[in-house]
Structure 1
Amino acid sequence: MHTLWKGSISFGLVNVPVKMHTATESQEFKFNYLHKDCQHRIRSIKKCPNCEKEVEMADLVKGFEYEKDRYVILEDEELAALEQPTSRSIEILDFINLSEIDPIYYDKSYYLSPEEAAQKAYRLLCQAMVESGKVALARVTMRSKQHLACLRVFEEGLVLETMHYPQEIRHMDATWGRIVPTETELSMARQLIDNLARPFEPEKYRDEVHEQVAEMIESKITGESFKVESPVKGGQVVDLMEALRASIALTEQEKEKIETNPDVDNQEAASQSEERKPKSTLTPRKRTARRAKGA
């Protein structure tokens, strides 16, 4: 995996040198704009409206608009000078329970792998965190921005999740919070949730739109026709209680069928697994660093 950042994890007097790698990747198809007449790719041009000329990347500077059309210029060197001496350190601040962090705080995931000489210390930290049941709340600086982060164990290694600060989280004006459901409605809603409860199996979920785009692209490449299936529209809820009763009855039938014949669940799971296999294996093209730089 490509190394994005090198530094170390520090807690107490322990220092573990690590390398950072992106833990996720976008599977979104990237489309280019082409000229309709000749189908050649359109080039993005940075043009100064005042000078009426094209501007190269080397001629750009960072500016903050503090008033309408008035900017203060910040040089890269000035921003770099603000970085703390610990900018190459993932500084652990506290150890906490993972359940205390609401998912809204999470931003992006990164893998952390140890330098060769630090593998024992890295493994020690992983095992100690697993046995304690805790995750680490840390601070790290990347690209001149200081991030709050969660450090946790995943697949026997460390994952760093960058997090939003509290002031970056918007709050909802929940006017519906004053509505009080009846005990009967709550009881039925809980029963429906229990009937639909399943273990988390991430492989059973898929991006159906992504798969259809892949099929459409392949059909166009091969000159075949492609038909988009119309989605099944859900029924409109007219009466809440009636909708709950009908939903519970349907899920109870499914539960009874599985309890009566456990093999049915396995057969359906196998059948659904087969259905979930994408018809197309087309994936977005990966751009090399050289091509990305020249684009």
Structure 2
Amino acid sequence: MHTIWKGAISFGLVNIPVKMYAATEDKDISMRMLHNVCGGPISFTRTCKNCDVQVQNEDIVRGYEYQPGHFVVFEKDELEAIGGEKSREIKIIDFVDLHDIDPIYFQKTYFLGPAETGVNAYNLLFNALKNTGKIGIANVALRSKGSLAAIRLVDNCIAMETIFYPDEIRSAGDVPNLTPDVEVSPKELQMAEMLIEQLSTEFDPKKYENEYRARVLDAINKKVEGKQITVTPEAPSTNVIDLMAALQASIEQASDNNASPKKKTTKAKKAPKPASG
């Protein structure tokens, strides 16, 4: 794995040198924007509106527009100093139970591995978290942005999960047309609960596949092979009026699916690499 950050976890007076690694990777299929006249790739450049010239990264500073057309300017070093990013510290301030944190707070996960000089302290924290069942809540600064983070265990590794601050979470009460006080039919509710029971299982991430990505990869292969692509249109959707009938049909379908043997899923072919030369 490629190291993306070096720093230290601290709790109390304990300091643990660590290296950070990305825990996830984007598997989306990347497509270039092309000019439909000649097929040439479209490039996007950073251009100054005043000078009408392309600007290099080393010539770019950050500015906050406090009123239209007026900016206060910050160099990268200033922002790093303000955010505490230069300290390279993941400072644990509290320990809590994982189930106390609603999943809406979680952002992005990183693996934390011990640096060469931090193996013993790393194992100490790992076993302490494992034995207590707690997770740490920490302050950290990454990429000129301060964040809260949850320090928890993933398999045999300490992981850091950045989490939103409370004022960054929108209120669900602002969602229009919510009617939680409307009464539902007891029979419909019973059928819905029965359907949930039939569809309930243990979570196994390996059984889920990105079907959209598989279809796109298949379409790419057909394009490359020069085949004609035909897409079968979906049946028009209809508004279901009879909830009981829909629930009953769903339960019967779930029963049939549970009774039938599981089929092995075939992995989609990888998109062919562009020809060189």
Structure 2 equivalent of residue 281 of structure 1: 270
- Contact 1:5 1:19 survives alignment (8 Å): yes
- In the alignment, the residues of structure 2 paired with residue 89 and residue 54 of structure 1 have an alpha-carbon distance, to the nearest angstrom, of 36
Deviation (angstroms), 1:137: 1.3
- In the alignment, the residues of structure 1 paired with residue 163 and residue 256 of structure 2 have an alpha-carbon distance, to the nearest angstrom, of 43
Look up the SS of the partner of 1:72 in the other structure.
strand
**Which moves more between the two structures, 66-75 or 242-251?**
242-251
Structure 1 equivalent of residue 43 of structure 2: 43
- Contact 1:28 1:284 survives alignment (8 Å): no
- Contact 1:113 1:158 survives alignment (8 Å): yes
* Correspondent of 1:189 among 157, 172, 192: 192
- In the alignment, the residues of structure 2 paired with residue 187 and residue 156 of structure 1 have an alpha-carbon distance, to the nearest angstrom, of 42
Deviation (angstroms), 1:128: 2.3
TM-score by length of 1: 0.82
1:164 equivalent in alignment to 2:164: yes
Structure 1: stretches of 5+ with no match in the other structure: 258-263, 286-295
Structure 2: stretches of 5+ with no match in the other structure: none
1:215 equivalent in alignment to 2:204: no
Look up the SS of the partner of 1:7 in the other structure.
strand
- Contact 2:85 2:142 survives alignment (8 Å): no
- In the alignment, the residues of structure 2 paired with residue 282 and residue 112 of structure 1 have an alpha-carbon distance, to the nearest angstrom, of 32
70 and 127 in structure 1: CA distance in 2 versus 1, 3 angstrom threshold: same
Structure 2 equivalent of residue 260 of structure 1: none
1:237 equivalent in alignment to 2:267: no
1:179 equivalent in alignment to 2:182: yes
Structure 2 equivalent of residue 84 of structure 1: 84
Look up the SS of the partner of 1:41 in the other structure.
coil
Deviation (angstroms), 1:31: 1.7
TM-score by length of 2: 0.87
- In the alignment, the residues of structure 2 paired with residue 62 and residue 177 of structure 1 have an alpha-carbon distance, to the nearest angstrom, of 45
Look up the SS of the partner of 2:33 in the other structure.
coil
14 and 233 in structure 1: CA distance in 2 versus 1, 3 angstrom threshold: farther
Greater fraction of residues in helix:
1
86 and 130 in structure 1: CA distance in 2 versus 1, 3 angstrom threshold: farther
- In the alignment, the residues of structure 2 paired with residue 154 and residue 100 of structure 1 have an alpha-carbon distance, to the nearest angstrom, of 18
- In the alignment, the residues of structure 1 paired with residue 11 and residue 26 of structure 2 have an alpha-carbon distance, to the nearest angstrom, of 33
Report the number of matched residues.
271
Output the aligned Cα RMSD: 2.5
- Contact 1:19 1:113 survives alignment (8 Å): yes
1:225 equivalent in alignment to 2:228: yes
Structure 2 equivalent of residue 134 of structure 1: 134
Letter in 1 for 2:242: D
Extract structure 1 runs of 4+ deviating beyond 4 A. Answer: 231-235, 252-255
